[in-house]
Amino acid sequence: MDNELLNLRKKIFLTGYSASIAHLASAFSIVEILYVLYLKHILRYNPKNPKQEDRDLFILSKGHGSLALYVTLCEAGFFDEQILKGFSKPGSYLGGEPCIPNIPGVEASTGSLGHGLSIGTGMALAKKLDKKDNKVYVLLGDGECEEGTVWEAAMFASHYNLNNLVAIIDNNKLQKMDTLEKVMGINSWKNVFASLNWEIREVDGHNVEQLEEVLAEPNNSEKPLLIIANTVKGKGVSIVENNPRWHWKLPNKKELKVFMQELNISEEEIKLCKEHI
């Protein structure tokens, strides 16, 4: 694993472990997507002026993946690492799901699944009406796409030709308790979005080069763009990967050794986490 990506996953784990609360698997699956958007500078942003008018807008609709966003925003310079260490502790504005208006770089309060794309379509329409060239990116969970509001937004975006809107599905094929196919009989989102007249791209969601290429490519159609990012839930830690029981879980002592070995975590770093609890 690339050292930068390993470091992001390591920080995600240590931040969650220190708080004794975390959706680790949901954060691990979107690391490369956020890495490319922010640290490969696909997004236009200014961490010194987060509300700069010409910025692109990003919404983490699957708000329970917040640790990945917080760590990435910290790496991008939006706030100091001391603030990151306050995650889900009294007095901190970094809660389990992103919330406005206090977190620099966060554009919408999310966590109640299914609403991020609706918010994003409204933002994208407003930018088009104002004749602005800002782009709006929305990252959804694949299980989240079972929500009806996602489809209202998808129809709206297509009808109003919101080609400044990019939806990305974290297509890890798992939701809280099982696979999407077992829970809802869904094995592909491509045909559903295509039937609503979206432009579709499909990539390996852990391949930085593929992600960078598809995200940097101009959308020359009049359609909103969907990127299906095929991912592994829990990517980076073998006992977590593709295992639904890790949706909301921290490791016991035996499992912790696997995290430490595979994420290159030292005993001293674990000790510091315990001091913060």
Cα–Cα dist 276/72, whole Å: 21
- Of the chain, the end-to-end C-alpha distance in Å amounts to 29
Question: Measuring CA to CA, which residue among 94, 82, 156 is closest to residue 123?
Answer: 156
pLDDT of residue 276: 57
With the CA atoms of 188, 189, 194 and 200 taken in that order, what torsion angle do they form, in degrees rounded to the nearest 10?
A: -100
Q: Which residue bears the tokens 């925003």?
A: 73
pLDDT of residue 188: 83
Answer yes or no: pTM beyond 0.85.
Answer: yes
Better pLDDT: 211 or 275? 211
pLDDT of residue 232: 98
Average pLDDT (94-116) is: 95
pLDDT category at 185 given cuts 50, 70, 90 is confident
Q: Are the C-beta atoms of 98 and 106 separated by less than 8 Å?
A: yes
pLDDT category at 274 given cuts 50, 70, 90 is confident
Average pLDDT (143-155) is: 96
Fold classification of 3-276 is Rossmann fold (3.40.50)
Q: Are the C-beta atoms of 228 and 171 separated by less than 8 Å?
A: yes
Domain ranges of the chain: 3-276
pLDDT tens readout for residues 20-78: 989 999 999 999 999 999 999 999 999 999 999 999 999 999 999 999 999 999 999 99
Q: Considering the chain, what percentage of its residues have pLDDT values greater than 90?
A: 90
Q: How far is Cα of residue 247 from the mean position of the Cα atoms in its chain?
A: 15
Alpha helices (H) in the chain, listed in sequence order? 3-19, 24-28, 31-34, 66-75, 81-84, 116-129, 148-159, 180-184, 190-195, 208-216, 253-262, 267-276
